[in-house]
């Protein structure tokens, strides 16, 4: 079978050709390991200036006076600017979307004008010959502040007693209510109603490489080149163009190597916009690299929800309805351009997701507070929806004295029920909950773990097993952002070019963040065209080079970017065979490409190396027929449109041991069975899952941005903000069910966020399972030793 006849992994077919489904090492890994990455901070430019920001020490304060006199005299200082000066060059933005009805947020400036609304908000910029000199001068800025009342608690914010932005009338950024009807009736007739309130700590994604930007304005051309550690170069091209008043064609955004992003680097940050504006103002390159302390103060935070959920079920364990009330605090601004309403919106969309109940009601309030802004971080809303659903499901099972796995089996949507519309309105193409559950229980040896658990309880060893089934949004269509008016591309493109030497160059609009995107594009391109991996070069992250596209977010790189590469690869194969047909004077249909050569499709007899075809095409086209023009550069695009999202599903399990004297939780093992459709590179997929689980474990046990009652971030450093390290992470066993999406030829769904989505709920359920014989439960993440000791009544 030739490559032209792929679907590479369609239902019922076996992938026995090419690189799809193989754990091929990433071509770019060696370069990174040898320290030859090109991150923004590695770049050297003549006349490069450095910016450091003077940031508000207060959570909420009026700027009465800023005196730059001493700062301007400091060694190496080029200039110092306040918000008004920068606003002359950079217009403010408003983080709202039309399809989030009623969402509101005030205009936000690159540098705050008149008022700072969180501790860490930039209020002045110092540009100097070096970062050290800029920091020295920041210390010399003299500021007078009038402190304003700070709203820090989300209930206080909701009450509206003190309104942060008086022009908005209240502190509510966004609210939503969803009701299928019949919820009260379902609760009235239920045999069992369980209710619980869960709290999710505010935390953040911690990237190895901090946010980095180097903006280089060229006044002679009126062009702006931005080297940016970003997930979305084209989105940023549009944003820089609009807000700096430079034609889009004159803005080029280059994202070479990016040291992790996790959703942190897909937002518009005021200090980054200011850096670009400063480059225009000073007509020279200006660089800003957020240091670790700035990252904690200003990288988007996420979560911070308080949710009360109720579940109604019958005595046989049939779930009848969920009823949900979510309150979430997002800081003083809705973040541009994705808004800060999406996380709460996802909680409403996804809660109860794996189950077949028909009645559902949800209420959401998203409020402003005087803390750092929150926005979309890996798995956006999913960890909350999954933990809520799975926490209350376990509580119901416990009340019914039913095994939690059995309870889930009775309620999971049957594998033959698709396509399926969930009561929140989202649609599922094809999921495999029961297959995943069966595989998980076998993989973890569930029955014997339960027996071991019971035996150990007799010896005062408290082990717990927690399950978390989930659904996950991947491959988003324009329904995510585009319909709301955001200029965020849901489509992506790939250009493939056969070089004269027989090499294939791939240029794709989806970006590499360190997760291996370029590696899978090389696999797909090589497989589609019929060349070996060493013949493929991949270029991403440059608006001046690649087709237009959305970049990396919402688990879309493989499913959307990968499909574009596949389609372009097939088109290139076809075009190459057109040339071969002319050169060899053979019917195109009898030819194929195998192992870097034109071959006879039937006999696999080698006809001509691709290198020779390249030579003829580019240097001796005179021997080709006059009416024929070779086209060895092709571009294809892909947008998922049939479903708003290509949902994936999976289930995780956690095994823990709780030390009931110290409140410490020891993670013994974690399992993850995921159906992300076609698996392109099993090693990369498993490591995506494991990395995601590690971040989910961080949320469950360790990570929280702590603020003082005055709104001061208390733990904004790597010693006090506790990110789990390899020593804290248990073995994570991964397995897969593969239900390819039929919307694409490739069949791949996303997998980047699944681990993070499911792990917190699984760990929470495991802890509560361990504590159950002691009559204790915990529901506020992260589950610190103190919180567990308090639940156990060991401390007051």
Partner 1 sequence: MKAPAFAYVKPSTLDAVFELLERHGEGAKLLAGGQSLIPSLNMRLSAPELLIDITGLREYAGIHASVDSVRIGALTTHAEIERSAEIGKHLPLVARAVSHIAHPAIRNRGTLGGSLALADPAAEYPACAVALEATIVVSGRNGERRIKAEQFFKGLFETDLKPGEVVTAAEFPVAGRNDKSVFLELSRRRGDYAIIGLAAHNSRFVFFGAGTKPVLAGNAASKTSLQEARAALATDLDPPADLYNSSATKLHLAGVLLERAWNTLSTSH
Which residues are near partner 1 by CB under 8 A? 131-132, 135-136, 139, 291, 293, 661-662, 664, 701-702, 706, 714-715, 717, 719-720, 722, 724-725, 727-728, 784-786, 789, 794-796
By C-beta, is 6 or 138 nearer to partner 1? 138
Q: Would you state the structure tokens that stand for residue 422, as one six-digit string?
A: 């969930």
By C-beta, is 84 or 666 nearer to partner 1? 666
Separation of first and last alpha carbons in the chain: 70
By C-beta, is 135 or 542 nearer to partner 1? 135
By C-beta, is 358 or 715 nearer to partner 1? 715
Going by C-beta distance under 8 Å and a sequence separation of 6 or more, which residues neighbour residue 735?
Answer: 439, 440, 443, 671, 672, 673, 674
Q: Would you state the structure tokens that stand for residue 598, as one six-digit string?
A: 């034109």
Best CA proximity match to 767, nearest among 690, 695, 668, 673: 668
By C-beta, is 534 or 661 nearer to partner 1? 661
By C-beta, is 1 or 725 nearer to partner 1? 725
CA angle 672, 698, 647 (to 5 degrees): 45
3-state class of 266 per DSSP? helix
Strands of 536-540's sheet in order across: 536-540, 504-508, 492-498, 633-638
CB of 295 to partner 1, least distance (A): 11
By C-beta, is 175 or 287 nearer to partner 1? 287
Calculate the dihedral angle through the C-alpha atoms of 604, 609, 612, 614, rounding to the nearest 10 degrees: 90
CB of 698 to partner 1, least distance (A): 11
By C-beta, is 541 or 724 nearer to partner 1? 724
By C-beta, is 294 or 563 nearer to partner 1? 294
3-state class of 25 per DSSP? coil
CB of 771 to partner 1, least distance (A): 17
CB of 722 to partner 1, least distance (A): 6
CB of 758 to partner 1, least distance (A): 22
Q: Would you state the structure tokens that stand for residue 245, as one six-digit string?
A: 């008043």
CB of 485 to partner 1, least distance (A): 39
DSSP 321-371: EEEEEEEEE--SSPPTTT-SSHHHHHHHHHTTTTB---EEEEEEEEE--SS
CB of 714 to partner 1, least distance (A): 6
CB of 766 to partner 1, least distance (A): 17
CB of 764 to partner 1, least distance (A): 17
CB of 374 to partner 1, least distance (A): 20
The crossing angle, in degrees rounded to 10, of helices 517-529 and 562-584 is 30
CB atoms within 10 A of CB 603: 8
Contact (CB, 8 A) for 360 and 385: no
By C-beta, is 1 or 714 nearer to partner 1? 714
Contact (CB, 8 A) for 172 and 294: no
Give the Cα separation of 69 and 141 in Å (integer): 8
3-state class of 209 per DSSP? coil
Q: Would you state the structure tokens that stand for residue 775, as one six-digit string?
A: 């009559």
**Number of residues assigned to the chain:** 796
By C-beta, is 454 or 725 nearer to partner 1? 725
Give the Cα separation of 13 and 697 in Å (integer): 37
By C-beta, is 93 or 783 nearer to partner 1? 783
The crossing angle, in degrees rounded to 10, of helices 270-282 and 233-244 is 60
Q: What is the enclosing helix (H) or strand (E) of 529?
A: helix 517-529
DSSP 308-322: EEEEEE-TT--EEEE
By C-beta, is 551 or 698 nearer to partner 1? 698
CA angle 507, 238, 226 (to 5 degrees): 70
Give the Cα separation of 566 and 551 in Å (integer): 17
By C-beta, is 144 or 786 nearer to partner 1? 786
CB of 793 to partner 1, least distance (A): 11
Dihedral of CA 454/459/461/462: which sign? positive
CB of 794 to partner 1, least distance (A): 6
3-state class of 101 per DSSP? coil
By C-beta, is 24 or 667 nearer to partner 1? 667
CB of 671 to partner 1, least distance (A): 23
CB atoms within 10 A of CB 530: 27
CB of 733 to partner 1, least distance (A): 22
Best CA proximity match to 358, nearest among 405, 423, 313: 423
CA angle 82, 83, 84 (to 5 degrees): 95
By C-beta, is 577 or 763 nearer to partner 1? 763
CB of 725 to partner 1, least distance (A): 6
Q: Would you state the structure tokens that stand for residue 773, as one six-digit string?
A: 């014989």
3-state class of 670 per DSSP? strand
DSSP 186-202: HHHH-SEEEEEEEEEEE
The β-bridge relationship of strands 223-228 and 251-254 is: parallel
Give the Cα separation of 470 and 353 in Å (integer): 7
CB of 715 to partner 1, least distance (A): 6
């Amino acid at each position: 079978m030739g490559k032209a006849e792929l679907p590479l992994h369609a239902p019922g077919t076996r992938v026995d050709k090419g690189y799809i489904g193989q754990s091929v090492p990433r071509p770019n890994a060696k370069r990174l390991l040898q320290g030859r990455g090109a991150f923004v901070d590695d770049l050297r430019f003549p006349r490069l200036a450095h910016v450091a920001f003077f940031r508000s020490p207060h959570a909420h304060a009026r700027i009465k006076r800023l005196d730059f006199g001493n700062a301007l005299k400091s060694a190496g200082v080029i200039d110092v600017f306040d918000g008004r000066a920068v606003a002359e060059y950079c217009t403010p933005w408003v983080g709202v979307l039309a399809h989030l009805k009623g969402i509101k947020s005030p205009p936000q400036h690159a540098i705050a004008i008149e008022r700072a609304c969180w501790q860490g908000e930039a209020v002045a910029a110092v540009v100097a010959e070096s970062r050290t000199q800029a920091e020295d001068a920041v210390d010399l800025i003299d500021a007078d502040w009038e402190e304003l009342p700070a709203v820090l608690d989300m209930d206080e914010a909701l009450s509206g007693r003190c309104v942060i932005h008086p022009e908005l009338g209240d502190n509510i950024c966004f609210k939503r209510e969803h009701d299928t009807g019949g919820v009260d009736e379902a609760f009235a007739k239920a045999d069992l109603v369980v209710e619980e309130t869960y709290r999710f700590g505010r935390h953040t994604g911690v990237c190895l490489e901090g946010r980095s930007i180097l903006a280089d304005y060229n006044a002679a051309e009126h062009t702006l080149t931005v080297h940016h550690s970003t997930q979305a170069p084209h989105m940023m091209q549009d944003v820089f163009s609009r807000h700096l008043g430079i034609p889009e064609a004159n803005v080029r955004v280059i994202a070479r190597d990016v040291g992790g992003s996790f959703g942190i680097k897909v937002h518009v940050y005021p200090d980054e916009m200011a850096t670009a504006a400063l480059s225009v103002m000073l007509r020279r390159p200006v660089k800003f690299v957020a240091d670790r302390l700035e990252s904690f103060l200003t990288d988007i935070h996420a979560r911070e929800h308080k949710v009360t959920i109720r579940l109604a079920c019958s005595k046989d364990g049939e779930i009848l309805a969920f009823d949900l009330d979510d309150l979430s605090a997002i800081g003083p601004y809705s973040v541009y351009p994705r808004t800060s309403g999406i996380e709460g919106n996802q909680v409403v969309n996804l809660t109860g997701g794996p189950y077949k109940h028909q009645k559902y009601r949800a209420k959401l309030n998203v409020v402003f507070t005087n803390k750092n802004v929150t926005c979309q971080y890996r798995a956006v809303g999913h960890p909350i929806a999954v933990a809520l659903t799975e926490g209350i499901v376990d509580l119901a099972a416990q009340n019914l004295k039913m095994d939690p796995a059995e309870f889930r089996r009775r309620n999971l949507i049957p594998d033959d029920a698709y396509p399926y519309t969930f009561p929140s309105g989202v649609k599922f193409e094809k999921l495999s909950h029961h297959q995943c559950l069966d595989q998980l229980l076998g993989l973890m040896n569930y029955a014997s773990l339960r027996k071991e658990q019971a035996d150990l309880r007799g010896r005062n060893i408290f082990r717990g097993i927690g399950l978390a089934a989930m659904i996950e949004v991947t491959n988003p269509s324009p329904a995510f952002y585009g319909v709301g008016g955001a200029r965020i591309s849901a489509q992506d493109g790939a250009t493939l070019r056969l070089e004269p030497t027989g090499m294939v160059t791939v240029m794709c609009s989806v970006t590499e963040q360190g997760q291996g995107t370029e590696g899978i594009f090389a696999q797909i391109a090589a497989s589609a065209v019929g060349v070996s991996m060493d013949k493929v070069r991949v270029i991403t992250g440059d608006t001046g080079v690649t087709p237009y596209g959305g970049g990396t977010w919402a688990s879309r790189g493989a499913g959307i970017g990968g499909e574009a590469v596949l389609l372009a690869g097939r088109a290139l194969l076809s075009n190459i065979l057109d040339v071969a047909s002319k050169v060899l004077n053979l019917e195109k249909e009898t030819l194929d490409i195998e192992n870097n050569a034109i071959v006879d499709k039937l006999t696999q007899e080698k006809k001509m190396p691709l290198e020779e075809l390249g030579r003829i095409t580019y240097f001796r086209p005179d021997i080709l027929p006059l009416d024929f023009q070779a086209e060895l550069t092709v571009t294809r695009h892909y947008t998922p449109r049939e479903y708003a999202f290509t949902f994936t599903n999976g289930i995780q399990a956690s095994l823990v041991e709780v030390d009931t004297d110290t409140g410490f939780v020891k993670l013994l093992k974690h399992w993850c069975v995921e159906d992300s459709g076609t698996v392109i590179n099993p090693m990369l997929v498993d490591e995506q899952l494991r990395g995601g689980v590690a971040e989910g474990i961080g949320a469950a046990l360790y990570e929280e941005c702590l603020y003082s009652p005055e709104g001061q971030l208390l733990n904004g450093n790597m010693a006090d903000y506790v990110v789990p390290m390899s020593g804290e992470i248990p073995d994570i066993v991964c397995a897969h069910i593969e239900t390819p999406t039929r919307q694409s030829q490739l069949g791949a769904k996303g997998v980047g966020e699944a681990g993070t989505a499911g792990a917190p709920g699984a760990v929470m359920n495991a802890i509560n399972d361990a504590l159950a014989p002691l009559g204790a439960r915990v529901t506020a993440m992260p589950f610190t030793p103190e919180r567990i000791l308090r639940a156990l009544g060991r401390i007051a």
